[in-house]
Amino acid sequence: MPESKISGLAGMTLKKKTLVLAVFSTVAMVVFLLISNQRQMQNVSQRILAQVSQNIAPVIIATSRSDTKDGYVFESKWTYEYTSSLCKGASIPLMSEDLLCKKRPEFLSGYKNPCWKETTKEGKETVRCMPYFHLLGADKCGSTDLFDRILQHPEMEPAGCGLFKECYYWCWTRYGVWMKNNSVPTRKTFEAYLAHFKQASSSIHLREVDGYHSHITGEGTPMDLWDFRGWPRIPQNEHLAEPLIMTPHLMKHMYPHPKLLVILRSPADRLYSDYYFLGYGNSPERFHKDAIRAVAMIENCQKTRTTKQCIFDMDMYVNLPMRIHISCYSVFMKEWMRVFPRESFLVLRNEDYGHDIKNHMSMVFSFLNMSRLPDEDMDVISNAKRKHVTQSKKNKGPMMESTRVLLNKFFEPFNKELATLLQDDRFLWKDNN
Higher pLDDT, 217 or 94: 217
Minimum mean pLDDT range among 37-51, 212-226, 284-298:
37-51
Split at pLDDT 50, 70, 90, the class of 89 is confident
| Residue 34 one-letter amino acid | L
Looking at residue 345, its pLDDT comes to 97
Q: Where are the beta strands (DSSP E) in 182-282?
A: 216-219, 259-264
For the chain, percent of residues with pLDDT exceeding 90: 74
- pLDDT tens figures, 331-382: 999 999 999 999 999 999 999 999 999 999 999 999 999 999 999 999 999 9
Looking at residue 182, its pLDDT comes to 86
Looking at every residue in the chain, the average pLDDT score rounds to 86
Cα separation, 418 vs 227, in Å, equals 18
Cα separation, 337 vs 352, in Å, equals 23
Say if residues 330 and 423 touch (Cβ distance below 8 Å): no
Looking at residue 186, its pLDDT comes to 86
Q: Work out the end-to-end distance of the chain between its first and last CA atoms, rounded to an integer number of angstroms.
A: 41
Decide: helix, strand or coil at residue 289: helix
Cα separation, 71 vs 67, in Å, equals 8
Decide: helix, strand or coil at residue 213: strand
Average pLDDT over residues 104-133: 95
Cα separation, 339 vs 345, in Å, equals 12
**How many CB atoms are located within 10 Å of the residue 50 CB?**
7
pLDDT of 35 strictly over 70: no
Q: How does DSSP assign 119-140, residue by residue?
A: E-TTS-EEEEE--SEEE---TT
Burial of 364 (0-12, 13-18, 19+ CB in 10 A): buried
Cα separation, 347 vs 353, in Å, equals 11
Cα separation, 260 vs 368, in Å, equals 9
